[in-house]
Amino acid sequence: MGLKVVSSAIISFSVFLLLASAAKAQSKGVFDVTKYGADKDITEALTNAWKDACASTNPSKVLIPSGTYSLRKLTLAGPCKAAIELQVDGILKAPVDPNQFSGGHWANFGYVDKFTLSGSGTFDGQGKAAWSKSTCQKDKDCDSLPMNIRFDFITNALVRDITSRDSKNFHVNVLGCRNLTFQHFTVSAPGESVNTDGIHIGRSTGIYIIDSKIGTGDDCISVGDGTEELHITGVTCGPGHGISVGSLGKYPNEKPVSGIFVKNCTISDTTNGVRIKSWPALYGGAASNMHFEDIVMNNVQNPVIIDQVYCPWNQCSLKAPSKVKISDVSFKNIRGTSATPVVVQIACSSGIPCDKVQLADIKLAYSGPDGPAKSQCSNVKPIISGIMSASGC
């Protein structure tokens, strides 16, 4: 009898949860853009649907159904009166011509609390023509191309199951956000695409990137100044330039970076693996409490690297050392294969040497003609434990 009572209680509770979930779904107003006159160009319809949903005092959802739509430059902003969701199930295409944009974004979400961006849809930046004309790979003063998606001052938010494809510039830029999670997020662009970082984070706290797939032409994930409590877990990266903290020290008054946790990731066929980089000679800063653990490398050119003489295309002076202080860093259980013989390179500032750098269980193999695998360290005294497959540090 006792077992039957418990089973009945569990079934009743399950039914209650289902009914509650259904009631919650019914209570959320759905604002379908097709009811707002959406045709091939969805810009005006989406703007009006968002405006009505944002004004709702009940949780609301803006729906973009399956289909292919053109979308011009757009800003969807709050504050909204209740939680709001944008469900994108269609393919949104940006204008091909960069001259149709003024400013640094295509789709911008700003100043929204309790926001969800969901669905099986795609933000297609149609960036191929822009990459071929871009001078940003060699010119630091180049004209900025639009990013696919910007999140500015978003709080308590979730981005789930969405794809960003072929952005003209960064795919996603996160600025001033708090408690924002990317889950099952996909970034897709060819390895030769220029300056197409997957997700760039700056001056934000509590950002989670979980179980996502990022393949692009620049950093899969890049971490700017002022980032705190960033958790990257279960991310597949490649092609691209790896997962990078920095570059730091390029601009005055940069805020410290701290609490970076990268774990259980796979990085394949990239120009770098896990990297921390700062510019020499320029401005000060600090980066600490950064930990990279349980990372698989597949044919990665520079699997583990701290580079405090970062100076791409000789765009800076090497006459003075980096003024960025790097401390409390660990690389643990990094395994796989390297495309270059130097599998660990820790090049710290001669002016402010790195402090408290740990290397533990580094099992990286190199099978090329310049073998065996080796490590190089300067201006640092790393704490080494466990297996170290590459001698030198």
Write out the two tokens for 45.
């319809």
- 125 burial (CB, 10 Å; 0-12 / 13-18 / 19+) is buried
> Cα 74 vs. chain centroid, distance in angstroms?
21
Return the ∠ at Cα 354 (arms to 351 and 355), rounded to 5°: 125
3-state secondary structure of 52: helix
Q: Which helix (H) or strand (E) holds 25?
A: helix 2-27
Q: Which of 105, 171, 241, 291 is catalytic?
A: 241
**Closest C-alpha among 234, 301, 253, 247 to residue 278:** 247
Return the ∠ at Cα 289 (arms to 284 and 292), rounded to 5°: 115
What is the rounded CA–CA span in Å between residue 196 and residue 219? 8
DSSP line for 247-264: EESSSTTPPPEEEEEEEE
What is the rounded CA–CA span in Å between residue 154 and residue 62? 17
What is the rounded CA–CA span in Å between residue 284 and residue 251? 9
- To the query of whether residue 200 is one of the catalytic residues in this protein, the response is no
Q: What is the largest CA-CA distance in the chain?
A: 83
Yes or no: say if 219 and 250 are a contact pair by the CB < 8 Å rule.
no
Strands of 302-370 (E only): list them.
304-307, 323-338, 342-347, 355-365
| 293 backbone dihedrals φ, ψ, rounded to 5° | -145, 145
> Cα 272 vs. chain centroid, distance in angstroms?
16
Give the residues across from 314 on adjacent strands.
none
Q: How many CB atoms lie within 10 A of CB 130?
A: 25
**Closest C-alpha among 139, 178, 144, 170 to residue 240:** 170
Q: Which residues are catalytic?
A: 241
